[in-house]
Amino acid sequence: MDSSIPASARADTSAAGAPAARASRARRTRWMALGGGVFVLVLVVVALAAPLIAPYDPIRQSLRGRLAAPTLAGADGKAHLLGTDHLGRDVLSRAIYGARVSLLVGLAAVVVGGIVGASLGLLAGFRGGWTDSIVMTLADAQLAFPFILLAIGIIAVLGPSFPTLIVVIGLSGWVTYARVLRSQVLVLRSREFVDAIHALGGSVARVIARHILPNVLSSLVVIATLELARAIVLEATLSFLGLGVQPPTPSWGGMVHEGREYLDSAWWISTAPGIVLMLTSIIVSRTGDWLRDLLDPTLRGE
């Protein structure tokens, strides 16, 4: 009888059933999430300390040292661990400074999206009725449309700048925050203690600060992490299309774009920042998944 059950099914039941196996998996997830957090921290330190870490000025050009392959002793007699680009700028230094752009735009966009989404979610939850319908219809409509097209249209007209980029990327991600906060408000509003607080003269702000935010904090952390990965990739994509951070400021997406014409002869110009970007995106979004498994498994369906 037992032999008719395929090995995969057996492994499955044992993994779900045995507490020891589940505990070891939870432990591994915890370590992974911690590792992801450390990676983000390292990235923040690199971005902040860019002037101290970067071996050269990221925008200083050198005609003699153009298109040098990764080397310890280039034509200009200096080490370029990741080579130089078509203007003789050090690729490693540019990639280090590029982390500043990615993190600045990414984190700021997450804050913008979080504030807008959380406010609209709270508003929809507390007000109900028409306000609720309007906010939720907006959310549905935005999800029913590939936002990058609209972002491209908006930036095309307004012109690329840091504030435009941050607002556009931030607004592209407000929906998830709004949904989580709204449903939390709806859950709490049905409880008697909220009415009691009102009756005792407690303000809405107090209900939000004392009862709603603590309940959604872990969900917010998970959403913000996943949004950070999305924002970083969207910024890089816009910069790659020439609609994001403008040269000579180094950004990962912009660097991949600049190296596009030299893929033949100088592959490192595009590949180095591209790999850094890809790793960042994968690690940050995986960290979001791990955090979700640890803190808030109910978000899985989102």
Partner 1 sequence: MRGLLPFLASRLLRAAIALWLVSTVVFVVMRLSGDPVPLLLPPDAPRSEIFRVRAELGLDRPLPVQYAVFLGHVLQGDFGRSIHFRQPALRVVLGYLPATLQLGLTAFVLAALVALPIGVISAVRRNSFVDQAAMGLALVGQSAPTFFIGILLILVVSLNLGLLPTSGRESWRHLVLPALTLGAFAMASIARLTRSAVLEVLRADYVRTARAKGVSEALVIAKHTLKNAAVPIVTITGLQFGTLLGGAVVTETVFAWPGMGRLAIQSIYNRDYPIVQCTVFLSALLFIVINFCIDLIYGLLDPRVRAS
Q: Tell me which residues touch partner 1 (CB under 8 A).
A: 4-6, 8-9, 11-12, 137-138, 140-142, 144-150, 152-154, 156-158, 229, 233, 236-237, 240-243, 253, 256, 260, 263-264, 267, 270-271, 274, 277-278, 281-282, 285-286
Torsion angle (degrees, nearest 10) of CA 137, 139, 141, 147: 170
- DSSP, res 246: P
Q: How far apart (Å, rounded) are the C-alpha atoms in residues 280 and 24?
A: 26
Nearer to partner 1, 19 or 301 (CB): 301
SS3 84: strand
Nearer to partner 1, 94 or 286 (CB): 286
> Encoding tokens for residue 34?
């911690």
CB of 68 to partner 1, least distance (A): 18
CB of 26 to partner 1, least distance (A): 17
Q: How far apart (Å, rounded) are the C-alpha atoms in residues 190 and 204?
A: 15
CB of 250 to partner 1, least distance (A): 16
CB of 213 to partner 1, least distance (A): 29
Nearer to partner 1, 9 or 26 (CB): 9
Nearer to partner 1, 216 or 238 (CB): 238
Q: Which residue has the tokens 């400021």?
A: 249
Nearer to partner 1, 31 or 145 (CB): 145
DSSP 82-127: T-B-TTS-BHHHHHHHHHHHHHHHHHHHHHHHHHHHHHHHHHHHHH
Cβ atoms 189, 125 nearer than 8 A: yes
CB of 191 to partner 1, least distance (A): 25
